Amino acid sequence: MKDRKKENVHRAGKRLGLAALGLLLAAVAGWLVLFQVNRFTLELELLGKETVIQEYGQVFQDPGAEVHVKGSLFWKNGFTPRNAEISVTGRVDENALGRYSICYTATVGPWRAQALRKVNVVDTQCPVITLTEGSQETLLPGTPYQEPGYTAVDNYDGDITDRVVRLEEMGKITYAVVDSSGNPATAERIIPYYDPLPPEISLEGGENYAIPTGTFYVDPGYSARDNVDGDLTEAVRVEGEVNWLEPGIYPVVYTVTDTYQNETTVTRNVEVTAQPRPEQIWPQGKVIYLTFDDGPGPYTMELLDVLDRYGAKATFFVTDSGYDTAMREIVNRGHSIGIHTVSHNYREIYSSPEAYFADLLKMQDIIYENTGVRTTLMRFPGGSSNEVSRKSCEGIMTILGEAVQNAGFQYFDWNVDSNDAGGARKAQEVFQNVVDGVSQARVSIVLQHDIHSYSVEAVEKILAWGTENGYAFLPLESTSPGFHHGIHN
């Protein structure tokens, strides 16, 4: 019985041993299968950049490389085997420009891997230009400068003084050189020139210049020259304003500076002169000055014929209405002609003193071109007391009232209004308004408009009444009373 039990135990242990061995063999087989399935690769990784820029003359430091074994199923991140060997072939000559290759080869068991690094040895350092110290004695412009000397040295090319390009400009020398690698270098030397002579400014028209009031000031011109810089006219600074509307002396200052900071200043005194105002002379007896604004028009010739029949003279403050023949006839028949306006556009002509004078002078020229008379008689559109000008320019009538007289013009308002531009629309109404007005004064300036047929129709009745009552009908002259209104703007 004991022998059987021992035999059974022995057999059981043997079976267990065989089972364990089987499991072990199975595990080993499994690992072998997995090892075969998990494909391994050997990778050689460069440390640093694949292409290295190496400065000429500096020691090359090889960054090296690392070996990694990676599996397709496990060890995917790789591991570095202890027995890995890396061999390096190729070299870099840091003292010779060019392109070099370094090959790295790694061997681990049956595996082998390679990597290649490119190394470019280049020269990026600029040459150095050294200037020999020269004399600090100042020289007059135009005096030749004695070059003290210079050198140029490059880290690769060595002495390249013979390649230096020297450029001498006004008071400065520039030295430039480029090495064989295309690296530039420049240096600058300031020449100690000294120019004691300032520029000269010439004023056309002289240092004292006069214009009449009301004449737009235009600079007569100037020029500037320098012994070194030449023509400096464009560099002249002009300061100062001329109020051509108000008599006085106005300084205009011209200043120019040369490259050596020599400054010249010249002053032109512009005198705005006022024309003498004619002495006002009141006529003898009872006088009516008939005046007509805004024409000539389609009724002007008819009006001239009526005036001729009575031997009466009148005054016409004209516009650029296109009736040039009538304008000439006004003068040819002995009447006075005066300036009213070119356009009668209040917004434009009263927008500024400059705009008003431009209109005034243009109309003066138009009258002269058509009649040969350069008249100075004028009437403000709306009269000097108009307030509509305030919409365009505050205070302009206050300025113009004095300015036109200082410019040699005589302006005329009126003391009798026919109201033919207002409520009167019939000849009888115009006639009655004129008669009522002139009856109150010995001398009257009557306002009418020869562009209205009913106003022209009333003239013959006015002439007849005036003649019967001892009035003379005269044209305005520069010495006639102006009957100036109070200025309200």
The DSSP annotation for 458-476 comes to HHHHHHHHHHHTT-EE---
Within the chain, which residue ranges are assigned CATH 2.60.40.10? 40-122, 200-273
CB 103 within 8 A of CB 114: yes
The domain defined by 128-190 carries CATH number 3.90.700:
no
**Is 293 among the catalytic positions?**
yes
Coil, strand or helix at 353 = helix
Within the chain, which residue ranges are assigned CATH 3.20.20.370? 287-473
**Biggest CA pair distance of the chain:** 189
> Rounded to whole angstroms, what are the CA distances from 186 to 117, 127, 174, 341?
36, 9, 7, 69
CB 213 within 8 A of CB 403: yes
The domain defined by 40-122 carries CATH number 3.20.20.70:
no
**Per-residue model confidence (pLDDT) at position 22:** 53
Three-state SS annotation for 127-176 = CEEEECCCCCCCECCCCCCCCCCEEEEECCCEECHHHCEEEEECCEEEEE
The token duo for 123 is: 């020269």
Query: What is the bridge-based pairing of β-strands 287-293 and 472-473?
Result: parallel
**Per-residue model confidence (pLDDT) at position 10:** 56
Q: How many CA atoms lie within 13 A of 138 on its CB side?
A: 7
Tell me which amino acid residue 423 is.
Answer: G
Taking residue 8's Cβ as centre, other Cβ atoms within 10 Å add up to 10
Look-up: residue for tokens 């305030």? 390
Active-site position among 68, 335, 449, 452: 449
Query: What is the bridge-based pairing of β-strands 150-154 and 85-89?
Result: unpaired
CB 270 within 8 A of CB 242: yes
**Per-residue model confidence (pLDDT) at position 34:** 47
Taking residue 65's Cβ as centre, other Cβ atoms within 10 Å add up to 20
**Helices 453-468, 427-438: inter-axial angle, 10-degree rounding:** 40
**Per-residue model confidence (pLDDT) at position 138:** 79
Stated pTM of the model: 0.61
Nearest-angstrom CA–CA distance, 375 and 216: 19
Active-site position among 293, 320, 359, 450: 293
Which numeric CATH code is attached to 287-473? 3.20.20.370
Cis previous bond, 296, omega within 30:
yes
The token duo for 329 is: 């006839």
The DSSP bridge partners found for residue 250 are: 270
- In degrees and rounded to multiples of 5, residue 356 shows phi and psi of -65, -45
**Per-residue model confidence (pLDDT) at position 55:** 93
> Rounded to whole angstroms, what are the CA distances from 72 to 34, 35, 37, 78, 228?
11, 10, 8, 10, 84
Tell me which amino acid residue 475 is.
Answer: P
**Per-residue model confidence (pLDDT) at position 162:** 96
Coil, strand or helix at 86 = strand
Nearest-angstrom CA–CA distance, 359 and 349: 6
- Classify residue 276 by its DSSP letter: P
Q: pLDDT truncated to tens, each residue of the chain (489 aa)? A: 555 555 554 555 556 555 555 555 554 444 444 445 557 788 888 999 999 999 999 999 999 998 888 776 666 676 777 777 888 999 999 999 999 999 999 988 788 889 999 999 999 999 999 999 987 777 777 788 888 999 999 999 999 999 999 998 877 899 999 999 999 999 999 888 888 999 999 999 999 999 999 989 999 999 999 998 999 999 999 999 999 999 999 999 999 999 889 999 999 999 999 999 999 999 999 999 999 999 999 999 999 999 999 999 999 999 999 999 999 999 999 999 999 999 999 999 999 999 999 999 999 999 999 999 999 999 999 999 999 999 999 999 999 999 999 999 999 999 999 999 988 999 999 999 999 999 999 999 999 999 999 999 999 999 999 999 999 999 999 999 999 999 999
Architecture of domain 200-273: Sandwich (2.60)
